[in-house]
Amino acid sequence: MRYQFVIFLLLSQIIPSCQNKQTKTDWSDMAKYAKENKVLKQQTDPNRIVFMGNSITEFWKRDDPAFFEGKPYVNRGISGQTTPQMVLRFPADVIELKPAVVVILAGINDIAENSGPISLQEIFENIVSMAAMARRNNIKVILSSVLPAYDFPWRSGLQPAEKIIKLNGMIQLYANKNQLEYVDYYSAMVDERKGLDKEYAADEVHPNLAGYKVMAPLLEKAITKTMSKNK
């Protein structure tokens, strides 16, 4: 009994400490776009399009700013993020901005296990959750293929190539069943190793300007088709 009491005392001190740390941690990085979101929520734009994603989305505006200039495109990419983090911030970074369309590009960091091991089914279900949230709020959805990757420079040895193919198959099937536009970046950018062609990325994961120039017309076509659809 004495030892049980000692353990209880230790736990009573450790658990509150852990909870306090969790409440102070912005795991999904909700604060990153909070100020910009506050401004956008006061402005209405029936043609607003939000890009939800990770570094591939975030760096698009940095590396190819001309693609965004003069367009109602809102970039909500955050480097390193996985789909569970995106699901948490989706209401604030997408729903509350009341866009006409959301473009979802996600999954590569899950396969890289940035937030720990996760199954392809769980990744897929998180993407579906975001699509479902959008559709419930009358926001049209464009789903994107995960870009090819032969290996990850920050976490080597996970053999992502086949996993990406399987995940893309799941996303495309869901898009087809639900009459959503699916942007196939993968087929346009893959090399003979089932990785990202070195012409399009210095590190074989993140597109360079040439890579984004391949992606842009594919997405623009999907946006045009999606905007012409009835909700």
Domain boundaries, the chain: 47-149+156-227
H/E segment holding residue 55: helix 55-63
Longest dimension (CA), the chain: 71
207: region left, alpha or beta (phi > 0 left; psi from -120 to 50 alpha)? beta
Q: Nearest to residue 51, comparing CAs of 177, 156, 139?
A: 139
Distances (CA, A) of 219 to 4, 43, 74, 103: 61, 25, 14, 9
Contact 144, 101 (CB under 8 A): no
Question: What span, in angstroms and rounded, lies between the C-alpha atoms of 57 and 65?
Answer: 12
Return the amino acid letter for 13: Q
Number of residues assigned to the chain: 231
SS3 77: strand
Alpha helices in 66-190, H assignment, sequence order: 83-93, 108-111, 120-136, 161-177, 185-189
* Tens-level pLDDT at each residue, the chain (231 residues): 443 333 333 333 433 333 334 335 899 999 999 999 999 999 999 999 999 999 999 999 999 999 999 999 999 999 999 999 999 999 999 999 999 999 999 999 999 999 999 999 999 999 999 999 999 999 999 999 999 999 999 999 999 999 999 999 999 999 999 999 999 999 999 999 999 999 999 899 999 999 999 999 999 999 999 999 865
Q: Which residues contact 81 (CB under 8 A, 6 or more apart)?
A: 28, 29, 53, 54, 55, 106, 109, 114
SS3 137: coil
Q: Go through 120-150 and write b for each residue having 16 or more CB atoms within 10 A of its CB, e for each that does not.
A: beebbebbbebbebbeeeebbbbbbbbbbbb
Does domain 47-149+156-227 correspond to CATH entry 3.40.50.1110?
A: yes
